[in-house]
Amino acid sequence: QVQLVESGGGLVQAGGSLRLSCAASGSIFSINGMDWYRQAPGKQRELVAAITSGGNTNYRDSVKDRFTISRDNAKNTVYLQMNSLKPEDTAVYYCHANIVILSSSNLPYEYSYWGQGTQVTVSS
């Protein structure tokens, strides 16, 4: 009953910006790490940026100083602000989160959830 819904993808020219959003909904007790991954055609899915529940962030080298990950814990939402976009950033971007839900016995369990993906295309 937990869903991650992404929005904000699209087509942009090189040098442009996009902001991705991912909102978690459902029977959520708490959310630990939230991440953005991407997968380009013919390539493996790769981690782009990660943020802990406390706000610590980590980025892959190729997006450092261009992308910013943030989260709004009150809204169960994670964002990815992408600036100075390059054609090599073209990919399907996926939101991922480690979400804690309570069992019927009120015991907490952490599960891994993925969004459906949103296409980002950067033209040269």
In angstroms, what is the C-alpha Rg of the chain? 15
Q: Give me the count of residues in the chain.
A: 124
Residue 1 has pLDDT above 90, yes or no: no
pLDDT in tens, 61-113: 999 999 999 999 999 999 999 999 999 999 999 999 999 999 999 999 999 99
**Contacts of 46 by beta carbon, 8 Å cutoff, 6+ apart:** 37, 38, 39, 60
Structure tokens at 64: 């450092």
Neighbours of 79 (CB within 10 A): 21
Quote the distance between the C-alpha of residue 29 and its chain's center.
Answer: 19
- Tell me the average pLDDT across 49-55: 96
